[in-house]
Amino acid sequence: MFLLVLDEFYLPVIVTLLAILLLLCIQGGLGRRELPPGPRVWIPIIGNAMELAEEDIRKPLRRLRKQYGNVYRLYLGTRLSVVICGYNAFKEAFIKRGDEFSHRPSMFVTDMISQNKGIVSSTGDLWKEHRKFALITLRNFGMGKSALEERIHKEVSLLMSSIDEQNQQPFDPSAIVHTSTFNVIAALAFGGHFNYDDSRFLKMLAAMNENMRNLGSSSAVNFFPFLRHLPGDLFKMKRTLHNVDFVEEYINEVIDKHMEEYDENKVEDFVSAYIKEMKVQKEHNRATTFTREQLCKIVGDFFVAGTETTAVTILWSMLYLTCKPNVQDQMFSEIRNSVGFDRLPSVQDKRDLVYTEAFIMEILRHAQVGFLSLPHSVPYDVIFKGYTIPKDTIILPDLDSVLSDPDVWGDPEVFRPERFISKEGALLNPEEFISFFAGRRNCLGESLARMELLLFVSGLVQRFQLLPPEGMTMCVEEYDGQFGLNHKPKPFKIRAVPRSIS
């Protein structure tokens, strides 16, 4: 009788319960054992947010690496994330297995902003096609070559005039440096140029800067989905989308004008080259991913990825040069000896400006404009270093773990441009120098950025001696500490005294 009841009633219940238990074990227990190690989650809705709650997020990340190794797991809210540290793991994931590790994860706010279009946030064939097109087109317009030099020189001269107007009084260089790098991108993207006091331009710059600043709070909505249902705009998500619309409205006007005035014999900027490609694809009746919407997002990507990063690197350079007069003197004597004063330093001088180039690389390594790269993902479950990384996990490449690894650099905390110069005096380019990332998703604008950095930094040092405000001494550490998407210096003021050529 008992067995009969067990058979007819309890057995299915027991089997169902066992199945649920097994499922829970696989999802929560056994499955997790295959995931990389990581700190325990006490409150699932928060994940490991408390472990990361420090202004300089590199500090907790360094501690976690020490505790869990080069591949560890974190929960950002409810989202599983895997941090990849150290050059070996970096190389294996993003270079050797770049096809798998070059995807982007889907994230609520980022998806709303980008709609998975453009280059930075797109993935798969759309990304491959457009990345290739953008690289070839920018190269044709002289990215990294001397054809673009004239445009950059124009911006260097404008920056210098603006610094001259400060009459050797202390000034904050941030706004004018941002204007300069934005103008280089505007020239390349649509042949544009903005005056330093153009009100629409200033509003666009302010909108982009505000979005960079708000990224921390608005991206919280990516990880804590319940926040998106709160009334008001506490996490600045609506504000962020409003700013994106404002900038895209301008880009769309530029595209309209280019379309109206299109002349196939006068393709001199990225927007015209893209319109040409759209026409070619249409003529051949191809099912195409080249659309006007995609063009708007790519120009937006160039604005965001190409303005702030380069501007902040120039600002760090100005701060380090002011704080380290010996370094500034050494760079000045190199420029004086190999370029002189009759003309601006040029790309052709690159092989003679070894110390200047090494200085720029050391700024990128030591100041770490980008200490954590953009989130990557995998398109399907992968096994990496013996661990399972499930599809759509957020993968965070920890650039700081490579750029400040004592096993690679010996004394990473010391600012020493000489580490990039061989005994024979040649510029070294170690593979661990990954400030521009490496592999399939490496920085699309690296050649342009390196060209801008060389021309702006060497031009400034040739023309001015950068000094602290009178009666003050300055040190880099005092101004360290603004962490958002980029790592930038706190606002600072310096004096620029024209050099006497004699």
Q: Is 443 annotated as a binding residue?
A: yes
In the bound state with ligand HEM, the residue whose beta carbon lies nearer, of 119 and 467, is 119
In this chain, which residue has its C-beta nearest to ligand HEM?
A: 445
Amino acid at 326: N
- Distance of alpha carbon 164 from alpha carbon 181, whole angstroms: 18
Contact (Cβ atoms closer than 8 angstroms) between residue 396 and residue 81:
yes
Calculate the dihedral angle through the C-alpha atoms of 256, 260, 263, 264, rounding to the nearest 10 degrees.
Answer: 60
Binding residue for ligand HEM (CB under 6 A) from 103, 324, 365, 441?
441
Show Cβ contacts of residue 323 under 8 Å, excluding neighbours closer than 6 positions. 468, 474, 475, 476
Q: Please enumerate in sequence order all residues whose Cβ is within 8 A of that of 215, keeping only pairs 6 or more positions apart, or say none.
A: 240, 484, 485
Contacting residue, 77, 86, 173, 370, with ligand HEM by CB under 6 A = 370
Which residues contact residue 2 at a Cβ distance below 8 angstroms, ignoring those fewer than 6 apart?
none
**Candidate residues 309, 322, 393, 401; the one interacting with ligand HEM per rule CB under 6 A:** 309
User: Segment contacting ligand HEM (CB under 6 A): 236-244, 337-345, 408-416, 438-446?
Assistant: 438-446
Site for ligand HEM (CB under 6 A): which residue of 110, 218, 272, 373?
373
The helix/strand/coil state of 72 is strand
- Work out which of 305, 319, 335, 363 binds ligand HEM, going by CB under 6 A: 305
Nearer to ligand HEM, 120 or 267 (CB): 120
CB 84 within 8 Å of CB 387: no
Q: How far is the CB of 102 from ligand HEM (least distance, A)?
A: 8
| Count of alpha carbons within 13 angstroms of residue 416, beta-carbon side | 11
CA angle 453, 457, 460 (to 5 degrees): 145
Of the candidate spans 69-77, 304-312, 323-331, 466-474, the one that interacts with ligand HEM by CB under 6 A turns out to be 304-312
* Cβ-based nearer residue to ligand HEM, 27 or 146: 146
Q: Which is nearer to ligand HEM, 71 or 443 (CB)?
A: 443
Asked if 377 contacts 103 with a C-beta cutoff of 8 angstroms, the reply is yes
Is residue 437 a contact residue for ligand HEM (CB under 6 A)?
A: yes
313 is a site residue for ligand HEM (CB under 6 A): yes
The DSSP string of 311-333 is HHHHHHHHHHHHH-HHHHHHHHH
Q: Find the part of the chain contacting ligand HEM (CB under 6 A) among 79-87, 154-162, 193-201, 429-437.
A: 429-437
Which residues pair with residue 487 across a beta bridge? 483
| Rg for the chain, CA atoms, rounded | 26
Residue 25 is classified by DSSP as: I
Tokens standing for 281? 């694809």
Q: Which of 107, 369, 451, 460 binds ligand HEM (CB under 6 A)?
A: 369
Of 495, 440, 441, 443, whose CA–CA distance to 464 is shortest? 495
Residues 94-133 that bind ligand HEM (CB under 6 A): 119-120, 131
Contact between 444 and ligand HEM per CB under 6 A:
yes
C-beta closer to ligand HEM: residue 244 or 449: 449
323 in contact with ligand HEM (CB under 6 A): no
Residues of span 244-273 touching ligand HEM by CB under 6 A: none
Nearer CB in complex with ligand HEM: 75/94: 94
Give the phi and the psi of residue 20 in degrees, each rounded to 5: -60, -45
Backbone angles phi, psi at 66, to 5 degrees: -60, -40
The correct pick among 374, 382, 408, 476 for binding ligand HEM (CB under 6 A) is: 374
> Which one of residues 300, 397, 459, 489 is an interface residue with ligand HEM (CB under 6 A)?
397
Binding residues, as ranges, are 443
Binding residues for heme, as ranges, are 443
Give the footprint of ligand HEM on this chain (CB under 6 A). Answer: 119-120, 131, 301-302, 305-306, 309-310, 313, 369-370, 373-374, 397, 435-437, 441, 443-445, 448-449
